[in-house]
Amino acid sequence: MTGKKEKSSEKREKRLQEISLLRTIPYSDHQRWWSEETLAVVTGANRGIGFEIARQLAGHGLTVILTSRDTGVGIEAAKVLQEGGFNVDVHQLNILDDESVSEFTKWIKEKYGGVDILVNNAGVNYNLGSGNSMEYAKQVIETNYYGTKNMVKAMIPLMRPSAAGARIVNVSSRLGKLNGRRSRIEDEALREKLSNLETLSEELIDNMVSTFLQQVEDNTWQSGGWPQKFTDYAVSKLAVNLYSVLMANQLAGRPEGGKIYINCYCPGWVKTAMTGWSGNVSAEHAADTGVWLALLPNKEVTGKLFAERRELKL
Ligand code: NDP
């Protein structure tokens, strides 16, 4: 290992230990704003980080709706948690299928009346190691960005008013940083527009991803100034991060008692199917910042990107 790599690996190890310690400190009654009536929906929760987020939220005493695009797989995953004594319900949900999203929304409304927490975890990535194929770019952008947006739009009207505020947590990535040192879009004028709340809009984000997909189709994306690593995935997560900033700003106008907070986080490089089990942190650790964000007693935090329970500059 080179000196620089060694240093960052030591730093990560230290932070992992700090977080393990933090996790042993129970929430006080004063911090615990939730109860078993508090309802958290987790997408793509049949495996990986999503399953762990569902397990940890249920472990904190909330009711968790474990969703899975495959009904049978979801039922099996939920059974594991139910047999552990957790309050877990299960429902089919494909975030790309309008019918599935609307059927799920109807079911939640009828059975529970509303939602308090939404964790947008479902996502895809088809590149491993130094691979950067655009073969699945459309699917990656659609699932990670448009699927997440579908869920945000479907769940906001169901979010229950409360003093603590409802919460949306998007499992995103530091690869989708707007001003990342190593991985960012090169077009400075576009970066400027995207970083300014006066000019940031849903249309601007949609246009950015459409331009990217058009270039993929025309096979001109290599000279388009897009992030170099896992390009399709980085663009999709950049769109998620920006959409969260935009939504946080729009939702900030809601009255006290009806607030909704929305944040993103990067779980790190995680040992799950997505990385071919080659990550350097466990799903248990990777779920931590998402759960911490969903339960934050300090409710004013919104429109931010986190990793390891710390804010990252977008
Ligand atoms: P996994 O591949 O293990 O799990 C992904 C989950 O998303 C699966 O449950 C999958 O369902 C589900 N999913 C995919 N497409 C859809 C869809 N259209 N509708 C509903 N569910 C869907 O990956 P991880 O647990 O590693 O990833 C979880 C999240 O973390 C993703 O958003 C990912 O981008 C993010 N992340 C992961 C990193 C890592 O190193 N692993 C790093 C940074 C971010 P099914 O089982 O049916 O395929």
Report pLDDT digits (tens) over 253-281.
999 999 999 999 999 999 999 999 999 99
Mutate which of 125, 144, 174 to test ligand 1's pocket (most atoms within 8 Å of Cβ)? 125
* pLDDT at residue 8 in the model: 85
Residues flanking ligand 1, CB < 6 Å: 43-44, 46-50, 69-70, 93-96, 121-125, 143, 147, 171, 173, 266-267, 269-270, 272-275, 279
Confidence of residue 62 (pLDDT cuts 50, 70, 90): very high
Name the residue with the closest Cα to ligand 1, atom 2: 274
* pLDDT at residue 246 in the model: 98
Name the residue with the closest Cα to ligand 1, atom 19: 94
Both structure tokens of 63: 């009711």
Q: Which residues are catalytic?
A: 233
Mean pLDDT estimate for the chain: 96
Q: Find the mean pLDDT for residues 116-126.
A: 98
Both structure tokens of 111: 């059975």
pTM of the predicted model over 0.85: yes
Both structure tokens of 263: 């944040």
* Strand ranges for 60-197 from DSSP E: 63-68, 88-92, 117-120, 166-171
Helices (H), 227-312: 231-251, 283-295
- Which region among 147-151, 222-226, 297-301 has the lowest average model confidence (pLDDT)? 297-301
Q: Find the mean pLDDT for residues 119-148.
A: 97
C-alpha–C-alpha distance, residues 51 and 36, integer Å: 19
Q: How many CB atoms are located within 10 Å of the residue 257 CB?
A: 10
With a cut of 60, say whether residue 299 has pLDDT above it: yes
* pLDDT at residue 2 in the model: 66
The model's pLDDT over 174-198, given as tens digits with 9 standing for 90+, comes to: 999 999 887 799 999 999 999 999 9
Cα-to-centroid distance, 255 and ligand 1 (Å): 34
Buried b (16+ CB within 10 A) or exposed e, 26-52: eeeeeeebbeeebbbbbbbbbbbbbbb
